[in-house]
A and B are shown apart, each in its own frame.
Chain A
Amino acid sequence: MTVSPVEITTAGVANLLRRPALFGLLPAIVAVVTLLVVPLAATFWLSLSPNVLIKFTGPGLGNYGYLFGKPYYVGVLLRTLNLSFMATLGALLIGYPAAWALKVLSSRFGGTVVIGLTFPILAGPLVVVLGWMILLSDGGPLFGPLVRWGIIGRPHLLGTQTAIVIGLVQFTLPFVILTIYSVLKQIPDDLIEAARSLGAGGAQIFVRVIWPLSLPGVVSATLIAFSLAASAYVSPHYLGGETQQTLTTLVGEFILATYNSQMAAAVAIVLLAVMAIVILIFTTLTARLVR
């Protein structure tokens, strides 16, 4: 007996309307719609609205025009992208070997490592950034002694992009390690043993067996790291300061300092669009690798 698509759909709808399933899903869906989807739509609308502060009588793209017309704001956009890419790259370069080490060791030591990695997420970004402000300061415990003994000059790291990248790498690293680890964990040891018994050396095993099998993990870790880095507010605000603005801190400034909410909305939409475009390009490029 063949089932027509219409029947499948009606069956599906009937299934959806089974009371308990609907009862269960509806509150959460309503919450996300009212507290995320509708507000984002309102923000988009606001970004197209007239803005006395820049003498834009709209509605239209005037707020965006103003934004992209100023080299400073274009610079902020490029800086956000640059920082996010650098942080992602750094987190992957440290995170991949760390995930591999975690797989090799596993057991109790591994458990302790995972607790350690989870910890800064629970302590919150503000506390962690405060720690970086202590560590990276010129007189801090990291550079202080070296400066005093005359081994290095004052590094002046705080307020630079390097400081932000360090903060972002540390912030995203736990997610990257655990994402890649969850994929590496599934590679059976037998497979590696088989490759070895067939005469493959260490490098060959990595390139031909482990790396291809771990690619899905690397791809999702990249996406997570990039999104987290581009979304970060606390690290750029404190480690970069006013000279190193990113799109997130710019949104903050437009609301907290100048109360230009149309402009804040436009920056927020640009941030979302840029993230979506980068993620889309990346997933398209890697679609073949992950399959």
Chain B
Amino acid sequence: MSPSRVASRMFLGLVVLFVVGPAAMVIVDSFNGATSFPSPFQSATLHWYVDLVHHDEFVASMRVSGIVAVLAATCATALGFFAGYALIRYQLPGRNAIQTFLLGPLLVPQIVIGLAELQLFSLWGVELNLGVLVAAHTVYVMPFALRVIMASLARFDFTLEEAAYSLGAGRLRTLRHVTLPLLGSGLIGAFVFAFILSFVNLPLSLFLTNARSTTLPIMMFAYMESRIDPLIAAVASVVVIAAIATTLLLERVFRLRLLG
């Protein structure tokens, strides 16, 4: 290997370390026996994980986050599929404008979306509940799902649908037996991406949760306002490990890259 290639590798390695390091640090510290946080590593312990399992509020908030993320990702994938299909399949006038509009939620700071929806729901007299949170998360993760789905639709051979029609299959049967199976990995990728982004989101939920719809990031936020101890590192590690597992699953099983 030439010296310049070695230098390139080392530089990239450092960059990745810079990007990944903080999350790795959290995992290390979750095994730290010290009770104050942050503090130098003292002794290895699983104490914080045992604490976590018995911490009802954290466990409940994980459930809430899971439910919200599943519902929001399902809605976002469905919306993204129908919209992406229409955008790619049909030569619509103003196609680019519609696409930009649908990707619009990406441009608005999440805390502003959260504030805006708080106004909307209070204008409508809707009380904060899980549905409000799902609606807010759906509109935020939809653009991500749409982009993944559009990328896989761009490689989709629409003549296969024509073939199914000419063989007598109706629109729904074609969708079920031809289109959806062929787009499978794109749809799964979109769903998983949307799920994770919803699951880890804090700023969007900040104004939209109540005592019964507290998501995991909001629970962490509330906990960290009063104190910071390695328990929070254990919670975060669970999220990190789930994220690693998902990244590898997408990469190895579905051959999907979420970026680039």
Contact = CB atoms under 8 A, between A and B. Distances in A.
Interface of A: 12-13, 15-16, 18, 20-25, 27-29, 31-32, 35-36, 38-40, 42-43, 46, 94, 97-98, 100-102, 104-105, 109, 111, 113-135, 137, 139-141, 144, 170, 173-175, 177-178, 181-182, 227, 230-231, 233-234, 238, 248, 251-252, 255-256, 261, 264-265, 268, 271-272, 275
A40 to B, nearest CB: 5
A122 B247 contact: yes
B105 A36 contact: yes
5 contacts: A21-B92, A117-B260, A120-B23, A131-B25, A133-B228
B259 A24 contact: no
B24 A170 contact: no
A183 to B, nearest CB: 11
Given A25-B87, A39-B119, A133-B38, A31 B12 contact: no
B148 interface: no
A94 B17 CA distance: 13
A256 to B, nearest CB: 7
Interface in B134-180: 135-136, 138-139, 142, 146, 171
Contact of B259 (A22, A118, A131, A275): A118
B126 to A, nearest CB: 12
Contact of A234 (B12, B90, B203): B203
Contacts of A31: 79, 138-139, 142
Given A39-B117, A178-B259, A182-B260, A233 B110 contact: yes
A227 B107 contact: yes
Contacts of A174: 19, 259
Contact of B40 (A123, A132, A144): A144
Nearest to B143: A32
Contact of A32 (B104, B110, B116, B239): B104
- Give the top 3 A-B pairs by smallest Cβ distance, nearest first: A124-B200, A131-B22, A24-B86
Interface in B50-96: 78-80, 82-83, 85-87, 89-93
B187 interface: no
B116 A42 contact: yes
B110 A21 contact: no
Contact of A130 (B18, B80, B101, B232): B232
B244 interface: yes
B19 A119 contact: yes
A22 B260 CA distance: 30
Given A32-B139, A121-B259, A134-B25, 4 more contacts: A21-B89, A31-B79, A233-B109, A252-B111
B15 to A, nearest CB: 5
Contacts of B247: 115, 118-119, 122
B119 A132 contact: no
B108 interface: yes
B236 A101 contact: no
Interface string B112-137: 11011111100100000000000110
Given A101-B12, A116-B20, A255-B207, A29 B112 contact: no
